[in-house]
Amino acid sequence: IFAAVEMAPRDPILGLNEAFQADPRAEKVNLGVGVYYDDNGKIPLLAAVKAAEEQRLKLAPPRGYQPIEGAAAYNKAVQTLLFGTDSALLDAGRAVTIEALGGTGALKIGADFLNRLNSSAKVYISDPSWENHRALFEAAGFDVGAYPYYDAATRGVNFSAMLAALKGYAAGSIIVLHACCHNPTGADLTLEQWQQVVDTIRERDLVAFVDMAYQGFADGIEPDAAALRLFADSGLEFFVSSSFSKSFSLYGERVGALTIVTADRDASARVLSQVKRVIRTNYSNPPTHGGIVVATVLSDAGLRAQWEEELAGMRDRIRLMRTQLVERIAAAGVKQDFSFVVQQRGMFSFTGLTAAQVERMKQEYGIYAVSTGRICLAALNSKNIDTVAKAIASVIAD
């Protein structure tokens, strides 16, 4: 039965991990995958998470099934992070949230549900986007196109081209948007531009699917939800996938959520009943641990304050790495202006390094990056930043 099975290509990002692990060089650096490491190069276990886990362990709760849609306390906490404590949309019962297996799981449940509603709708992702967006919506049965987004010349967003493209799409098309900290470019829309996107989505009868994987990594929990709040204020129906992989450093626990905003409470009940069907036929119900930990932290004032402080610490360290990288590339004798790295937001920088230069970084220095030139700033630290700056200087010199 497997004679005709071909070898599948590796995931362009996760595949790098395998190559990195196999590299025997001690001074190797992995700037590929989007994971936050502390200054010692370790994935942190947040103190707020540890405290919540200890509480849970002490309670020694029985391990029954969760509801299909996950823990109610968790789903409510997610809604408050997305829409704020004082939300007309939430008060009106216009949002349904289900606990999902990470942001990826949220995207997939949303995509499967959308496909049941209208399988001939076209999906548009940003050009470029997170590698998995296209594959995931295609796997759900959609034809996936891309709207113009990044402008290499300005290292910003080609907003007029993006808006013009949105205006040309057929009614019902699904537009996947990055709420903040765009992956892979680090280039976000301004709030004025977001308002124009919201207006266009309404005028053209498009469906917004807002992906929020990095809330808290640009400016903070509340400011990073600003674009989402414009959608909330618009009265539109839309989809949100969100993730705590990065903001709680809970990657492998797979903690995310799908939130669907509907017209009213009645529509919410009908939508939830159908989404539960999608979940049942995929994995029945989500795992317990990660969601309970997040809900515990978010519902306890002390733990929540501690978490926000730890999140700010991660955000600030990434910012520091951005300024230091720019300084050290200049100190290594590079004339080209790299100050754009400081303007970019979130974990990533689109450095402008070519695939050939990225390959040389790997071969000559054991420094791994995505072939598109994307690097993860959160993998830099006080010990490796000089090596990385010098390697970049060396591969762009000739």
Catalytic residues: 130, 211, 246
Stretch touching ligand PLP by CB under 6 A, among 56-64, 96-104, 370-378, 386-394: 96-104
Tokens describing residue 228: 């989402």
Element (H, E) at 277: helix 265-280
* Radius of gyration in angstroms for the set of CA atoms belonging to the chain, rounded to a whole number: 21
Residue 32 interacting with ligand PLP (CB under 6 A): no
316, with CB counted inside 10 A (0-12, 13-18, 19+), is exposed
Residue 13 interacting with ligand TYF (CB under 6 A): yes
Q: Which is nearer to ligand TYF, 17 or 195 (CB)?
A: 17
The pair phi, psi for residue 265, each rounded to 5°, is: -55, -40
3-state secondary structure of 324: helix
Residue 176 interacting with ligand TYF (CB under 6 A): no
Shortest CA distance to 383 belongs to which of 330, 328, 344? 328
User: What is the C-alpha to C-alpha distance for residues 186 and 182, in angstroms, rounded to an integer?
Assistant: 5
Q: Which does 102 bind (CB under 5 to 8 A by kind): ligand TYF, ligand PLP, none?
A: ligand PLP
Residue 130 interacting with ligand TYF (CB under 6 A): yes
Q: Which does 14 bind (CB under 5 to 8 A by kind): ligand TYF, ligand PLP, none?
A: ligand TYF
Q: Within 10 A of 31 (CB to CB), how many other CB atoms are there?
A: 25
Stretch touching ligand TYF by CB under 6 A, among 8-16, 284-292, 351-359, 378-386: 8-16
Strands 95-101 and 122-127, by their bridges, are: unpaired
Q: Which does 11 bind (CB under 5 to 8 A by kind): ligand TYF, ligand PLP, none?
A: ligand TYF
To ligand TYF, the closest distance from the beta carbon of 380 in angstroms equals 15
Residue 183 interacting with ligand TYF (CB under 6 A): yes
Shortest CA distance to 89 belongs to which of 259, 219, 211? 259
Amino acid at 319: R
Stretch touching ligand TYF by CB under 6 A, among 6-14, 37-45, 67-75, 361-369: 6-14
Question: Contact with ligand TYF (CB under 6 A): which of 34, 105, 256, 366?
Answer: 34
Residue 241 interacting with ligand TYF (CB under 6 A): no
Residue 213 interacting with ligand PLP (CB under 6 A): yes
The pair phi, psi for residue 391, each rounded to 5°, is: -65, -45
User: What is the C-alpha to C-alpha distance for residues 352 and 367, in angstroms, rounded to an integer?
Assistant: 16
**E-strand spans in the chain?**
29-30, 95-101, 122-127, 143-148, 150-151, 156-157, 174-178, 207-212, 238-243, 255-261, 348-350, 367-368, 374-376
To ligand TYF, the closest distance from the beta carbon of 113 in angstroms equals 21
Q: Give the contact letters, 133-172, x = binds to ligand PLP (CB under 6 A), - = no.
A: ----------------------------------------
Question: Contact with ligand PLP (CB under 6 A): which of 216, 256, 286, 373?
Answer: 256
Q: Which does 186 bind (CB under 5 to 8 A by kind): ligand TYF, ligand PLP, none?
A: none
Question: Contact with ligand TYF (CB under 6 A): which of 66, 79, 115, 132?
Answer: 132
Binding site for ligand TYF (CB under 6 A): 11, 13-14, 33-34, 130, 132, 183
